[in-house]
A = this chain, B = another copy of it.
Amino acid sequence: MERHFHQDLETLKAELLRMGGLAEAIVHKSVEALQRRDLKLAEEAIQDDRLIDRLEVDIDHHAIDLLARQQPMAVDLRFILAALKISNDLERVGDHAVNIAGSVLRLGTAPPVKPLIDIPRMAELALGMLKDALDAFVRKDSATAREILRRDDTVDELNRQVHRELIGYMVENPTIISRSLELILVARNLERVADLATNVAEELVFFTEARIVKHHLEETTS
């Protein structure tokens, strides 16, 4: 029974990692579609999100089933609750990738309004944060989790920079307003992916240290 339970926890962890891998891949694909103006790739990203949605439902089922059957205590209970929250975070990462793919479809094959430098950089940073947060989760490495929380500031700053720059373009050339707006929205979606990576890191700190670090109100759970 005990052994079986630990196998179930390992399965749950493996499912989360698979979902994390898919979530990273779909964000990467949507940004690549933007860079290449590849509408087919954008459609593919939108399709791929269905698999992520499916995995969230599966993970929720397994987690709830484990809670109901095993009535776990302490660290195992916190792990399962963290898994539920992380699956929700990853599902939202998928939704942001779908939003980006939607912008790609609306932008179509017209030449970009500006060279894409900051947006791919934001994607790289946000995906690095997400990957490291999930790796840290597997290793129960809360020191790395805290470091990830700090990296979010760089992504926020890039988002503000993209926003300011594109407003400048729009003012100079009103014919590109719609297209500039799409890029502003893409940047905001990437900024939200980085936020969700920090959520995963926060869940990890909760799970390993029994502390809730959300909202910078650090306190020990009872």
Residue numbers of A with Cβ under 8 A of B are 50, 53-54, 56-57, 60-61, 64-65, 67-68, 71, 73-74, 77-78, 81, 84-85, 88, 167, 170-171, 174-175, 177-178, 181, 184, 212, 214-215, 217, 219, 221-222
Contacts and interface: CB of A to CB of B under 8 A. Distances in A.
Contacts of A60: 212
Given A65-B222, A84-B84, A171-B174, 16 more contacts: A50-B215, A54-B215, A54-B217, A57-B214, A57-B215, A61-B222, A64-B81, A65-B221, A67-B77, A68-B77, A167-B177, A170-B174, A170-B177, A171-B175, A181-B181, A181-B184
A42 to B, nearest CB: 19
Task: Tell me how many chains of this kind the complex includes.
Answer: 2
Contacts of A214: 53, 56-57
B167 A178 contact: yes
B73 A68 contact: yes
Closest 3 CB pairs of A and B: A53-B215, A71-B71, A174-B174
Nearest to A184: B181
A219 to B, nearest CB: 7
A162 to B, nearest CB: 13
Nearest to A53: B215
A167 B77 CA distance: 49
Contacts of A171: 174-175, 177
Contacts of A178: 167
A60 B214 CA distance: 11
A96 to B, nearest CB: 12
